[in-house]
Structures are given as C-alpha cells and as structure tokens.
C-alpha cells in the first residue's frame, strides 16, 4: 500500500488559512498537525495557543521556496518552540517540502470543514479549549 504525505491549505479569511498535514516516514513514524495560520507576506505562520501535553509551544512556518512549499519547525529566534510533540520519535516537520507539481484541487472542502481537525483549529483560534 502506497502512503502519501499530505499538506492541505484552505483559505479561512482574508489573512489566515486552515492547514492540515500528515507526514509518513520510512520507519513507520508519522507527524500530524492542523491549525489556522496567519499570512505574513508570502508565508504562513502557525503558533499553537493550546498547550499540548505540557510540551513546548508548536510554531510552524509554511513557505513557498522555488517550485515547492516547505514546512519549517523552530522558526525565528525562539528555540523554545517545537512541533516535535506532534511526531513519532524520528519524525519532524523541519524542511519537509511538497512540490507544486503534486498539487491537486481540494474537492471536499465541505467535508473538511465538518471534520474534527477543522473544528479544533477554529476553537483554538477563538481561544476555546479543544480536543478530548
């Protein structure tokens, strides 16, 4: 069975976008993260506001680099941020790229907006607790 890495980005409003990503690594470990990121120029920045199991705050940059979109963990000068809590032991969001050649239209936006991940992202944006 072939497994694909996924990055979905859908406009939320004029300055923000919902994203969901799931990465698979050769060792069977995965990374999964979703949220609403703020647009800053040609980049999207996500900073987790809900504490995730006492781990450092997750901060992720989603950036266009040439013909691809690249994810970067530990953005900026703040080394106390890490999204590693959303990954298996040997997984990482750092320097993961998605080629524009693999881009596909998202035809299931209504289903996406009804999903748990989207609802959690909106609740986090609104400052409400989310998750189980």
How confident is the model over 55-64, as pLDDT tens digits? Answer: 667 889 999 9
* Nearest by Cα to 113 from 48, 15, 30, 17: 17
Tokens (6 digits) for 62: 């989603």
Q: Is the pTM of this model over 0.75?
A: yes
pLDDT digits (tens, 9 = 90+) for 32-41: 999 999 999 9
74: DSSP letter:
S
| Rounded distance between C-alpha atoms, residue 14 and residue 84, angstroms | 29
Rounded to a whole number of angstroms, the CA Rg of the chain reads: 14
Q: What is the mean pLDDT of residues 46-68?
A: 82
């Amino acid at each position: 069975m072939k497994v694909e890495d996924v990055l979905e980005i859908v406009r939320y409003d004029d300055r923000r976008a919902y994203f969901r990503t799931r990465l698979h690594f050769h060792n069977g470990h995965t990374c999964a993260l979703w949220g609403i990121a703020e647009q800053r120029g040609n980049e999207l920045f996500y900073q987790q506001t809900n504490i995730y199991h006492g781990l450092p705050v997750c901060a992720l940059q989603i950036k266009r680099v040439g013909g691809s979109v690249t994810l970067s963990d530990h953005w900026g000068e703040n080394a106390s941020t890490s999204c590693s809590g959303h990954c298996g032991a040997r997984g990482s969001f750092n320097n993961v790229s998605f080629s524009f050649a693999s881009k596909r239209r998202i035809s299931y936006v209504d289903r996406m907006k009804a999903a748990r991940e989207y609802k959690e992202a909106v609740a986090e944006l609104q400052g409400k607790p989310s998750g189980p």
